Structure 1
């Protein structure tokens, strides 16, 4: 068969595919299964999820802090520690001794490690540090206050009263589990059982937007909030991933976007919707090395599976974290970070809230509609719903299920 016919066959196959069945959104059992199959294997932002707080980690050297990974969903207790990186310090000292010192005479900052551990003692499961607390790391290391078991700051077992004569002790399971953690700009990500490397997860967004000076982002609590939605988390994501609804649901947003040039680019763990702007909108100052150089780009809408939305504008970032709270309810954490205050004239809190309310209204309408005994599933609009189709495919892949069998 020729390449043209193969392409035509694949295109027809894609066009005949159906969306996730309504039973996926209705099922409490599938929801519970998705927490382990999808969310526990995903990369999530680490930080403080209290009302209005930033996700940024600003832990001082010599301190430890307990955090919860995706509260309300995973509820995984983690412990962050920041300690001196002795190996890096020795290397820094060697370089300092072998090179002339700068005229200003300033000493370089000593290197510190940010380590992420399970916050659960390996003896009987007590929390090592109560949720939401920040304390100085004791000189003797981490100690469980229940039975006195001690660990080093890297999680390795140190001692345990009552276990002095126990055979084959300690074993690997007696160390605190070390959780993989990575930074990108001001954001810290962790995963307790990652299905993909962090590099695969972040590279498409990081490389495309390398021209942005993320270290200059400033968190704006007054422009940040949370929304509670009476709908399944995946319905909120479905809505985000397509622009077909924009002219019908978002008249003010439609007025500044060039929907004729709307397009979606897919990558392994997410996708990008490119917000081409019309003449009324502010646009990015793109460098020649950017693949979009010469185009009027008003926004980059990045989705990272399963629940993160990074919306980049000329003024900064609006970040949405979609946190399932049940099979029928969702909390969305909306956080705003400003990069260029001089471009904020294009930012309208009332317009953004209006768009959010419009989205919530239609998502909650769908939540009610999928309870129908008549509706089973739909078809994908080929151009507009590529991201939705990819999202559903990733759900099926992570849950190891045939979509039609949900």
Structure 2
């Protein structure tokens, strides 16, 4: 007797309009937020506009390809992005360092990440984080987006109020299209209230610049090592926490190595570390992306495709992002992540038993914004939560 085995579904069979829209929203929010910060680095280090555009191009192309490959291979919604804490470091650390030496440091950091991905104790430690604590970390990362949306309401109550009303109204009749409705209402309200900034938008391909790296001890100590530490503590640790909170546990080693190899390619075009997405990953891994958890990987694939398209025309899309007021973008991000915030907080506090304080400790420490030793609060938050969890769950001494 032969047993018929169902053929694996294709990406096109698994995808739906909600997945496409979630991927687009994730990329829009990324390009409207962290991506524009690269201009702060370029201005501080006196880099040319062409160099900044090449940086953006490399980020978009290589993260897009990495997210597509990892998502299709694992059938999990894995989003790749660059190290946002790394950008903050480069604003102050890059000036005074010749750019070829900086690129050499980017390349060194990428190789260090690959080595970390081959270190079994590290990958086992990432997998051992309890799910409620991972959910608490995810909730703490997401809460500031809600706070910024409320601050935007205080600045432009009519604009943000219309977007909030549209979101909750559409959730009652067409939940899948709630975020899309918020975006359309935000555009229409911005135009009606004369809050947007229409400017001529050039439609030109971005030209990448190949940079020959130069190695130096000064750049290695001041850029490569801090960038590696920030990529791990500020992106990979919370990124795996986001995936775990949403029910996905990819092998950490393969993800680290894939991001490391992608970073090697991106470095030659002037881009620093490419890492695992954390904040925006919630948009492609939640119920809005697809009702079926096993098919949400398609939203991350769409995000990768949109990222590549945006990177090919980086200047065009940056001009488009500048048309909407920042309050509309803040409201869009907060509302798009609201469901993920609620589900993460619910998962963090629904556990029973004696271990109840680890989750609130993680949230408090992460939201505090403390940065001892220059390491982000998210890393200290998960360490503090794990310590409290260990104290509360260890066997009592007789």
TM above 0.5, yes or no, is no
TM-score by length of 2: 0.22
* Greater helix proportion: 2
Q: Which has the higher contact order (CA 8 A, sep 6+)?
A: 2
> Given the two structures, how large is their TM-score scaled by the length of structure 1?
0.22
Which is richer in strand?
1
